[in-house]
Structure formats: structure tokens, C-alpha cells
Amino acid sequence: MSSSSAHLCEQFAEAMQRMLDGEANSLSEPLESHRIECDDCRRFAESAANLTVALADLPRLEADEVLTSRIIAAVEADRAIPPPKRHLTRRIVTAIVVIAASIAVLWFAGEWTSVGRTNQMVSSHSVRPPAAKVKSNPSSFDMRDNLEVVAESIASLTRRTASDVIGPARDVFGLGVEMDWLRGPAEVRDHANPAMDSLQELRHGAAAGFEPIAESARRALAMFTRDLPTKPSTKP
Amino acid sequence: MIDDRILVKRCLEGEADSVRQLVERFQTDVLGLCFRMLCHRQDAEDVTQEVFLRVFRSLGKWDSKRPLRPWIMGIAVNRCRTWVVQRSRRPEIVDYLHETVADRTPIDAGDLSEEIAAAISELRPEYRMAVNLFHEMSMPYDEIAEVLGTPVGTIKTWLHRARSLLIARLQKRGIMTESAEAQTKAFVGKVQGK
């Protein structure tokens, strides 16, 4: 096969794609002549054209009324749910916890830096630091103790804020415990069910409110642990 | 037919009839795309429902200066992609996805549609979407590019490759006549060997 013939075949293929794409209505005169002369190109063009027609005629999956109703019901149910309320209290509490955790981390980082600086001073000037600030033996420097202090502080903050926010509701509505005050004859309990549903929502809301606080604390701890140096600097 | 913008406005005002109209206007397109992508009717219906939930949740964010259909189809594409990823993490249900075309016995030319559908299901996902949007939904290139977030040139390339693959696979399955197959193979070889 000559190179000019192959070149024409390639041009023909590109032109066919443009036609199949709807970007051209006809072939140029040289390519039309080529189509007549070249069996390969002619048959390939026929196959491609047949495929395009078949693709357009593919039976479509029609959505039936059942699906339509299902979608509309789901949309209506979704619209009936109010958008998630981001209570100001929850935001404030979360912000406080994050700030407290950040301060704790920064405070500890500052302590760490001062220990490192003091150690450098100890080495370079042979001055004994105060025992209360830095332990005389660097090997006794135990990061875990400090980490536990910070962890406990954050956990304490978390517990306290959770208790402050959720505690009163728990006390009033008996969240998380059996609601003894609603016990009574079956018919009374049946009538109380709608009210109980509301309380269940409150319970879930309280639990959901706690989650960001706990998450913030966990995140702060994880970041703190991640950023800890693996070994105290003892270089002079 | 009511203009898309008016329909959306009415939907946002809470008109139940308009919600139904909007669903009915686009559900077949969405379902068709989902079915092509997921190759499973039940999954396609589930994702279609999800798509419309998201459409109505975000309807207020739709830019009314742009056409509605590509926006909705874009949501459908994203939901399908997410669904495919989620489904791949659930090995227990992978088996039902689809039988491979190679497992089947040769069929009559009368089953061409079924065979083409099976061949499409074996294409890469982006090719499948391009074929569905262009050939089945007659969507123009610029809209497909918007839906898939891809340049027009890439869409054309995907379509060209998809067609070539479909022809090759259909020939392999014996859908085209022997002579046509031989001729096409020769043609492809000639172009590729150059």
C-alpha cells in the first residue's frame, strides 16, 4: 500500500468521525472519490454509520410512574425536614473548646521551647537551672507525663462543657435514663407517645451536640501528638 | 412547555405540580445515564432518586443564566461516580453487576440493540457517559463538556475511541458480517500501521 493511500485513509477516518459527530454534512471531493475507490474505507464507513444509527435507536430505559412517585415522595419528605439548626450555644461551646485546646497546646509548646532553651543555656554556660523548671537529668524528661496532663485538661474541659450544656436537659427530661415519671396505665403511656417522640429527638440532639465538642478535643489531641518532637533537643 | 427558569422558580416557591413537572422532564435522561453508568436498574433508580433530592436541595444555587439540563446531568454524573466508588467497597454485591459479553454465546443480528448495550457496558466509564450523552441524548459537545467537566476536545476523543472500540467489539462478537469485519480490520490496521 502506498503512503499516499494510507494518508488518504487516515484523512477519510477523521472526516468520517466529523460527519458522525454532526460537524460535517459531506465529504470533500477527494475523500468522496477515495470512498468509492477504497473498499476498506467504504465498508468501515458503513459500519460506523450503522453503529451511529443503532446507538441513536437504542431502547431507552423509561422512568415509570412508580419511580416518579417515589422520587416526588422522597423530595417532599426531604423538604419537610428543616435544615440542620446550628445552635449558637453549640457553636460557642465548640469554639471555646477549640480555643482552650489550642491554648493548652500553645502553652505546652512554649514550655517545651523554654525547656529546650534552658537546656542550651545549661550546656553553654554551665549554669545550673532552677530545679523546679528543668530536671537536672535530661534523660528523666518524660513527655508522656506532660501529654497526659494536657489530655486530662482537654478531657476535663470536654466533660465540663458537655455537662453544662446537656446536664440540665438530662436532669429535667431524664435523658438517658428510664422516664419513670411517665410510667402509668397503658392508655396513659399510649397518649404520652407523641410527647416521648419529642423527647427522643431532644436526646438525639443533645448527643449530636456533644459530638463536635468531643471531635474538637480528639482533633486537638491528635494534632498535638502529631506535632510533638520525637526527641528533646540536647544540642549545645 | 414551561421554560426551565419559570419551572425552577415555581419549584422554589413550593408548587407541588412544578416539582412533578421538573421530575418528569428530566427523570428519563437521569435514569438513562445512571443505567449506562451502573449497568443495574435498581441501582440506577436509587441513584436517580438521590440525584433529584440533591437537585431540589440545591435548586436555589442554580445559575439561571445557564441551561438546566447540563446542571442536573452533572449532578447525576457525580452521584454515579460516588455510587460506583461506594459499590466497589462492597464486595458482596459485586457479582450481580453484569455478566461479561465474552461469556455469552454469539447472537443473531436481530439482537443488535442488546449487544450494543452490552458492548457499551464494557467501555470505560468516561466513554460510556460520552456515548450516552451524545448518541442517546443528543446533547451537544459544549453541554457534555460542562456535564463532565472536561474540554470539548477530550469529549471528541472519547467519542472517537468509544466508537472504534464498539465496532471492534461488535465484530469480535460476530455481529457484523465476516467480510465487513475483515475489511474494517484491514482498514484499522492500515491506518494504525502508517
8 Å CB contact of A67 and B186: no
For residue B179, the domain's CATH number is 1.10.10.10
Task: Calculate the alpha carbon distances from B51 to A70, A211, B144 in Å.
Answer: 13, 29, 18
Domain range enclosing A8: 3-56
Considering the domain architecture, whether residues B172 and B191 belong to the same structural domain is answered as: yes
Q: Which parts of chain B register pLDDT below 50?
A: 93-109, 178-179, 183, 194
ipTM over 0.95: no
Interatomic CA distance for residues B115 and B135, integer angstroms: 16
Total domains present in chain B: 2
Considering the domain architecture, whether residues A99 and A49 belong to the same structural domain is answered as: no
- pLDDT tens profile A141-189: 455 566 666 666 666 665 665 566 556 655 555 444 444 445 556 666 5
pLDDT at A106 over 70: no
Last residue of a domain, one of B97, B112, B137: B97
pLDDT of residue A9: 86
pLDDT of residue B26: 95
pLDDT of residue B58: 92
- pLDDT tens profile A63-101: 888 999 999 999 988 888 766 554 556 666 666 777 777
Residue of B nearest to A59 (CA): B113
Set of chain B residues whose Cβ sits within 8 Å of the Cβ of A39: 183
Interatomic CA distance for residues B130 and B160, integer angstroms: 10
Q: B 139-178 residues with CB below 8 A of A?
A: 141, 156, 159-160, 163, 166-167, 170-171, 176
Residue of A nearest to B15 (CA): A76
Considering the domain architecture, whether residues A166 and A213 belong to the same structural domain is answered as: yes
Q: Which amino acid is at A150?
A: V
Considering the domain architecture, whether residues B65 and B114 belong to the same structural domain is answered as: no
Considering the domain architecture, whether residues B152 and B170 belong to the same structural domain is answered as: yes
Helix, strand and coil content of chain B, in percent to the nearest 5, comes to 80, 0, 20
> What's the pTM value of the predicted model, to 2 decimals?
0.56
Best to test chain B binding among A42, A58, A68 (most B CBs inside 10 Å):
A58
Residue of A nearest to B110 (CA): A54
Task: Calculate the alpha carbon distances from A90 to A162, A206, A213, A225, B173 in Å.
Answer: 10, 10, 8, 26, 63
Considering the domain architecture, whether residues A206 and A121 belong to the same structural domain is answered as: yes
Cβ-in-10-Å burial (0-12, 13-18, 19+) of A46 comes to: middle
For residue B35, the domain's CATH number is 1.10.1740.10
Domain assignment present for residue A61? The answer is: no
Set of chain A residues whose Cβ sits within 8 Å of the Cβ of B113: 54, 57-59
Last residue of a domain, one of B37, B67, B97: B97
- pLDDT tens profile A193-234: 666 665 556 555 655 555 556 666 666 666 666 666 555 544
Total domains present in chain A: 2
